[in-house]
Chains A and B, each alone.
Chain A
Amino acid sequence: MKPRTTIAAALAGMLSLAAVALAAAPVASSAATSCAKASLALVHAGQLTVATDAPAYPPYFENNKPANGKGFESAVAYAIAGQLGFGAGQVKWTVEPFNASFAPGPKSFDFDINEISITPARAKAVDFSTPYYTNPQAVIVVKGSKFAHAGSLAALRSAKFGVQVGTTSLAAVNAQIRPTQSPQVFNSSNDVVTALREHLVDAIVVDLATGFYLTSGEIPHGVVVGQFSASGGDNWGVLLSHHSKLTGCVDQALAKLRSNGTLSSITSRWMQSGAGVPVLK
């Protein structure tokens, strides 16, 4: 068993360091852009059009209703909107499937908030804001599984994994766990959950916050074996069209939310701390 308090302290330290570094970086670069509400380049004048996929899952959204302001990403979106000068009534939500969000051509949203990981390759096709969250990966099995007490990533190599397509989890499984059989890749997180429940796979990998949500309800016999970091970390950013004039303004808004503590209070309200979960190496 790993010494949990030490890990908790280390994690907290890392997070706060990251937060300071992130808060300091973007302000200078984007300060030149005018972010007055009237001068923003918007898809629909007078309203901020925000996109996410459907269904929208907890803890990022509640009751599949992005417009209720509940859930982590809904709260972050409204906080950004507030910084840009939009009241809650001026924020309009639209559905954007993940696979369509990076298609070339004009976008139907001002920004898309959908647990999207920032990578250099993706940044060639779209714009990303600075990260609003860094999420570790979690390995989940059902109670009684022979992998339930795996203390390391190496002990998980022989497991048959299930992951959702397009997620950092899939890359993390391939790069860090390197399983002996190729993982099963599903269209949606619902299918991943079904595969685990019906023992079509031994283990699934999701981001930790999703892992907490799944083991608290969707998979009653599920247990979080442990957490690990995707290589390079898994930083989530708001997605905007490539070379969007709005990117700098969203970055400014996020910087403000970091420095005034709003982002961390939203985070601690909606996202369970991973401090109690063993770290797999």
Chain B
Amino acid sequence: MSATSTVVVIGGLVAALVLSPGWRTIRQTYLSWHYFRQILPSLPGAFWLDARIFLIVEAVVLALGLLIAVVRTVRAPVLFPVRLACAAFVDLMRGIPLLILLYVVGFGVPALGFSFLPTDEPVLAGAALAMCYSAYVSEVFRAGIVSIHPSQPAAALALGLTRPQALRHVVVPQAARRVVPPLLNDFIGLTKDVALVSVLGPQEIVRVAQISSDFSFNYTPYIAAAAIYLLLTLPLIRIVDRQQRRALRRQNAVVML
């Protein structure tokens, strides 16, 4: 039954595409084998730049996001100014478009003229991405931390652990496990936002596709770039799904699809 309905739905969609009045144009403009073969060899090298930026930014984001979350949940009065600064940072970074942040950091930091600051575009772009995503990820971590029942740190304190020890050994490990699925979700978002670094000049994969498309007036290079992207994002998405199912089983003893 499900097989039949699947064939009908997918077959119907394909038929609608192929029988559409513009199918010839679509095929020539978006699915040209000629342009696909032409662009394909230049894409993996360009994608390697995206991948490197992604991996480094992801590591920075995990560390910085967790740090901000912990600072924001610690209630020591002496840390109030730091908490305020972290809250302001998170609000600001989540409140402005990433594209504007990229321009401000990418063109603004070199304009300061300090020789110790980087002027390398992928580094600047990576910094902007890390700032934005640290803010999001810190909120994910914070949600995880506040979701741990107060009886947990209370029990830890009763056993003689200090507050930092309770945080380090009891709260954060449980919180981190809980937020793995939403974290991975944010990282799927990050893999694609890395493409925005092209506004500062580096020739990453989407830019390489755009250059080719602008010269040929044909959109096939974008489709080719999307295909390369799927090679990375589809496995990631599958991992997220599996993690979510495992988390559900662990927490609720329920199996869901």
- Interface residues of chain A, those whose CB is within 8 Å of chain B, are 98-99, 102-105, 119, 121-122, 124-126, 162, 165-166, 170-171, 182-187, 191, 194-195, 198-201
Interface-facing stretch out of B21-29, B51-59, B90-98: B21-29
Residues of chain B within 8 A of A170, CB atoms compared: 211
- Separation of A195 and B201 alpha carbons in the complex (Å): 9
Contact B199 A166 (CB under 8 A): no
Residues of chain A within 8 A of B217, CB atoms compared: 102, 121-122, 124-126
CB contact under 8 A between A165 and B29, given known A121-B217, A122-B216: no
Q: How many residues on chain B are close to A (CB under 8 Å)? A: 24
- Separation of A201 and B121 alpha carbons in the complex (Å): 10
Contact A104 B110 (CB under 8 A): no
- Separation of A191 and B201 alpha carbons in the complex (Å): 9
Residues of chain B within 8 A of A122, CB atoms compared: 215-217
Q: Is B198 an interface residue (CB 8 A)?
A: yes
For the complex formed, measure the closest distance between the CB of A247 and the CB atoms of chain B, giving whole angstroms.
16
Contact with A along B7-39 (1 / 0, CB 8 A): 000000000000000100110010000000000
- Interface residues of chain B, those whose CB is within 8 Å of chain A, are 22, 25-26, 29, 107, 110-111, 119, 121, 198-203, 207, 210-211, 214-219
- Separation of A200 and B210 alpha carbons in the complex (Å): 22
Contact A104 B107 (CB under 8 A): no
- Separation of A124 and B28 alpha carbons in the complex (Å): 10
Contact A186 B201 (CB under 8 A): yes
CB contact under 8 A between A165 and B110, given known A182-B203, A200-B121: no
Contact B29 A104 (CB under 8 A): yes
Contact A98 B214 (CB under 8 A): yes
- Separation of A162 and B200 alpha carbons in the complex (Å): 10
Chain B at the A interface: mostly helix, strand, loop or mixed? helix
Residues of chain B within 8 A of A98, CB atoms compared: 214
Taking a contact as CB atoms closer than 8 A, the residue among A119, A166, A183, A184 that contacts B210 in the complex is A166
* Chain B minimum-CB-distance residue to A197: B111
Contact A121 B201 (CB under 8 A): no
Contact B119 A199 (CB under 8 A): yes
For the complex formed, measure the closest distance between the CB of A220 and the CB atoms of chain B, giving whole angstroms.
15
Contact B198 A119 (CB under 8 A): no
Taking a contact as CB atoms closer than 8 A, the residue among A125, A165, A191, A199 that contacts B218 in the complex is A125
What are 6 A-B contacts with C-beta separation under 8 Å? A104-B22, A104-B25, A124-B217, A125-B216, A194-B107, A198-B110
Contact B202 A165 (CB under 8 A): no
Contact B119 A200 (CB under 8 A): yes
Contact A187 B214 (CB under 8 A): no
Residues of chain B within 8 A of A185, CB atoms compared: 198, 201, 203, 207, 211
- Separation of A103 and B30 alpha carbons in the complex (Å): 10
* Chain B minimum-CB-distance residue to A239: B217
Contact A165 B121 (CB under 8 A): no
Contact B218 A166 (CB under 8 A): no
Contact B110 A187 (CB under 8 A): no
For the complex formed, measure the closest distance between the CB of B132 and the CB atoms of chain A, giving whole angstroms.
19
- Scoring B26, B200, B219 by chain A CB atoms within 10 A of each residue's CB, the highest score goes to B200
Contact B214 A165 (CB under 8 A): yes
Residues of chain A within 8 A of B29, CB atoms compared: 104, 125
Contact A121 B216 (CB under 8 A): yes
* Chain B minimum-CB-distance residue to A125: B217
Residues of chain B within 8 A of A199, CB atoms compared: 110, 119
Contact A200 B201 (CB under 8 A): yes
Residues of chain A within 8 A of B203, CB atoms compared: 182-185
For the complex formed, measure the closest distance between the CB of A51 and the CB atoms of chain B, giving whole angstroms.
15
- Separation of A162 and B202 alpha carbons in the complex (Å): 10
Residues of chain B within 8 A of A194, CB atoms compared: 107
CB contact under 8 A between A121 and B107, given known A185-B207, A200-B201: no
Contact A165 B216 (CB under 8 A): no
- Separation of A199 and B25 alpha carbons in the complex (Å): 43
CB contact under 8 A between A200 and B214, given known A182-B203, A186-B199, A191-B199: no
CB contact under 8 A between A162 and B218, given known A194-B107, A198-B111: no
- Separation of A152 and B217 alpha carbons in the complex (Å): 32
- Scoring A102, A183, A194, A200 by chain B CB atoms within 10 A of each residue's CB, the highest score goes to A200
Given contacts A103-B219, A186-B199, 14 further A-B contacts (CB under 8 A): A98-B214, A99-B214, A104-B22, A121-B217, A121-B218, A122-B216, A165-B207, A166-B210, A170-B211, A185-B207, A187-B199, A191-B199, A199-B110, A200-B121
* Chain B minimum-CB-distance residue to A119: B215
- Separation of A235 and B96 alpha carbons in the complex (Å): 41
